[in-house]
Amino acid sequence: MQSKLNLEWSPEQIASHLRTRWPDRPERHLCHETIYRALYQGAKGGLSRTLTRKLRTGRPLRKKRRRPDQRMPRFVAPAVLIDHRPPVIELRERLGDWEGDLVVGVRSQSAVATLVDRRTRYLRLVPLPEGHSAGHLRDALITVLSRLPAHARRSLTWDQGSEMARHHELAPYFADGIFFARPGSPWQRGTNENTNGLLRQYLPKRTNLSLYTVDDLRSIEHRLNNRPRKTLSWQTPAQAFTAALAL
């Protein structure tokens, strides 16, 4: 169990792994809440409290979630809103419907772009070493998109940030087009928002993200893509994406 925590697996992922690894040995099964208690209560014979740093939040104490502040739009894109996306995208039944955003560093001076496939939760981290202007983002996304087969590039949903001011130059890479969430509505890109939350364990706020190398980002990407997900019936995003590519 400690080895999985050191790999930043969540208690729920570990609990599922134990049931899968030893299906006929219930004495080895644990509820994820039991693992949390062992971490946070720090009782004698329990897990080291230092392992709380391996959890996504990294908090030494548990706390209630708070409602995130809504971000005001910085750019109103002359493009198609999310309301007009093809209904098939909502079903998560096909590969290639991506959600994207920026993870921004200290004082908004550095950033990394994120692309997440809605069906498989597969993540691509896009380095932006020269900056996150519309031109820089366009060039970086084209580098990643050009390496994907056409059936893995159906649509893209982004927020109305100014970094997407040149979205029309990316449109040819998506068969069904590019769509924009409504201002102050991050839940309309829920898959991406959740993934960005996971990323903050590795790319903390108030950090200079330009210090992360391409190899650093690939290592983080590998960690997240190879952790089992409850929403994928405990498959990993990498497994689900590879299987979907072969269809």
- Using CA atoms, how far apart are residues 54 and 200, in angstroms rounded to an integer? 12
pTM: 0.73
Between the alpha carbon of residue 82 and those of residues 71, 101, 175, the distances in Å are 17, 15, 16
CB 167 within 8 A of CB 135: no
Give the type of residue at 105: G
For the chain, the residue count is: 247
- 3-state SS, 140-197, equals HHHHHHCCCCHHHCCEEEECCCHHHCCHHHCHHHCCCEEEECCCCCHHHHHHHHHHHH
What are the structural domain ranges in the chain? 2-54, 80-245
Task: Please tell me the predicted confidence (pLDDT) of residue 156.
Answer: 98
Task: Please tell me the predicted confidence (pLDDT) of residue 69.
Answer: 44
CATH code of the domain occupying 80-245: 3.30.420.10
- In 26-107 the beta strands, taken as DSSP E runs, fall at 80-81, 97-104
Task: Please tell me the predicted confidence (pLDDT) of residue 198.
Answer: 95
CB 19 within 8 A of CB 29: yes
Task: Please tell me the predicted confidence (pLDDT) of residue 1.
Answer: 67
The tens-digit pLDDT sequence of the chain (247 residues) is: 677 777 888 888 888 888 888 888 888 888 878 877 777 765 555 566 666 676 766 555 555 554 544 444 444 446 789 999 999 999 999 999 999 999 999 989 999 999 999 999 999 999 999 999 999 999 999 999 999 999 999 999 999 888 999 999 999 999 999 999 988 888 999 999 999 999 999 999 889 999 999 999 999 999 999 999 999 999 999 999 999 999 8
Angle at 69 between CA 221 and CA 128, to 5 degrees: 35
